């Protein structure tokens, strides 16, 4: 069982460590390029909001209510 674990470590972890060590020794112009930046989607936030009064007819008479208007 112990040799199986050692073989598993030798096969999986050691090549990764060797890759990182080799990349650290390379000059800057031979290293792998950095991944491109990822930007979050832009959220459109209204810059000007106000409270306005709206009149509407509900079938029985005219009523008013406050609404938020953003431009």
What is the per-residue DSSP string for the chain? -HHHHHHHHHHHHHHHHHHHHHHHHS-GGGSPPPPPP-PPPPP---S-EEEEEEEEE-SSSEEEEEEEEE-
pLDDT tens digits, one per residue of 8-24: 677 677 666 666 555 55
pTM of structure:
0.31
Does residue 38 have a pLDDT over 70?
Answer: yes
pLDDT > 90: what percent of the chain? Answer: 21
Any domain includes 23: yes
Residue 1 located in a structural domain: yes
Could you tell me the residue range of the domain that residue 19 belongs to? 1-30
Predicted confidence at residue 39, as pLDDT, reads 80
Residue 56, pLDDT above cutoff 70: yes
Which position has the higher pLDDT, 28 or 4? 4
- Is 48 within a domain? no
Residue 50 located in a structural domain: no
């Amino acid at each position: 069982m112990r040799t199986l674990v050692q073989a598993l470590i030798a096969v999986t972890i050691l090549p990764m460590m060797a890759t990182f060590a080799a990349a650290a020794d390379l000059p800057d112009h031979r290293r792998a390029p950095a991944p491109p930046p990822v930007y979050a989607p832009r959220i459109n936030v209204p810059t000007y909001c106000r409270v306005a009064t709206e009149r509407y007819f509900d079938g029985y008479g005219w009523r008013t209510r406050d609404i938020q208007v953003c431009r």
